[in-house]
Amino acid sequence: MPEFINRLLTNLYFIYERLDWVNAVDLLLVTMVFFAILLLLRDTQAMVLLRGVLLLIVLISLLTSLELLPAFSWLVRSTLPALLLAIPVIFAPEIRRTLERLGRAGAIIPGGKANSASQDAITSVVSAAARLSERKHGALIVMQRTDSLDEFVKTGVSLQANVTPELLLQIFYPNTPLHDGAVIITGTELIAASCVMPLSSSGVLAPTPERQMGLRHRAALGISEVTDAVAVVVSEETGYISAVHGGRMIRRLDSERLENILRAFYRPMERRKALGVILSGIFSRRSTSTREEN
């Protein structure tokens, strides 16, 4: 053990002697890349897999460093190429989701007329959500932003109607033909109802009792993970209103808070940068507290 510590200190001193500002910048860039990857994978199933992979790498490194295990070292060296090829297969959904997030980060968000036109729809959605919450009628409302939702529109029933609270209340009235699935709203128009949404595979809802957060919440998280849409969910069991964006959820909202959140997503371009930072922090804190509560 003392020999190992002496060797480690020698290596650290060797690195320190040759460290200049170019190398410092190089290390800083590498650190930022790893930090960005961990930030994108936060609160996803990939983070659990990543912990397991890192633990496995550490254990294998320790075992292969021992000269008493030549057969095991040979086995690791032989199977390492196959393991490297398996990593993209294991992390395929997370890699796709990360690339989609990076692509949306550079997207141009429409402003002006399109954003102002959405304000009437927001008022209707907030009013309908409050009334659905009082009656404990389950609902899933998906509001399109920059990413196209055409592939999900095709799974439902086309309506092409103006958004009104009365229309939403009628659609989500229990046992009506269109109450299952989601409605998709673009601007002030309700495009389709009874649409099928992708279910979340991130594992965020895994510790939560199914009776409180069921398929509607998983579908809301799922559509927010593959697009930049904003989803509003009303729980059929509890009547709680939730807002979902970017794979994160804020629960137990009242009408005022829901309206503030939705309007923040549709404000003009010049305010969006600061609002994005604020909302990202809110969703991050609330998603953590939600899992602790449940």
In the sheet that holds 241-245, the strands lie side by side as 157-162, 189-195, 182-186, 139-143, 230-234, 241-245, 248-250
| Domain boundary assignment for the chain | 2-105, 113-293
Query: Cβ(252)–Cβ(238) under 8 Å?
Result: no
The amino acid present at 82, given as its one-letter code, is A
Query: pTM for the whole thing?
Result: 0.59
- The pLDDT, as a whole number, for residue 172 is 93
Higher pLDDT, 193 or 105: 193
3-state secondary structure of 203: coil
- The pLDDT, as a whole number, for residue 157 is 92
| pLDDT beyond 70 at 251 | yes
- The pLDDT, as a whole number, for residue 171 is 93
Higher pLDDT, 281 or 61: 61
Q: Which residue reads 């086995």 in tokens?
A: 75
- The pLDDT, as a whole number, for residue 89 is 72
Q: How far is CA 198 from CA 31, 150, 217, 288, in A?
A: 34, 14, 11, 23
| pLDDT beyond 50 at 270 | no
For 142, the enclosing helix (H) or strand (E) is: strand 139-143
Identify the band that residue 286 occupies on the pLDDT scale cut at 50, 70 and 90.
low
pLDDT tens for 61-101 read: 776 666 666 777 777 777 777 777 777 776 666 666 666 66
Rg of the Cα atoms in the chain: 24
Q: Which residue reads 């397991």 in tokens?
A: 52
Q: Write the Ramachandran bin of 112: left for phi over 0, alpha for psi from -120 to 50, otherwise beta.
A: left
CATH architecture under which domain 113-293 falls: 3-Layer(aba) Sandwich (3.40)
Identify the band that residue 183 occupies on the pLDDT scale cut at 50, 70 and 90.
very high
* Distance of alpha carbon 274 from alpha carbon 279, whole angstroms: 9
Higher pLDDT, 22 or 15: 22
| pLDDT beyond 90 at 182 | yes
The amino acid present at 14, given as its one-letter code, is F
* Distance of alpha carbon 243 from alpha carbon 279, whole angstroms: 11
- The pLDDT, as a whole number, for residue 109 is 42
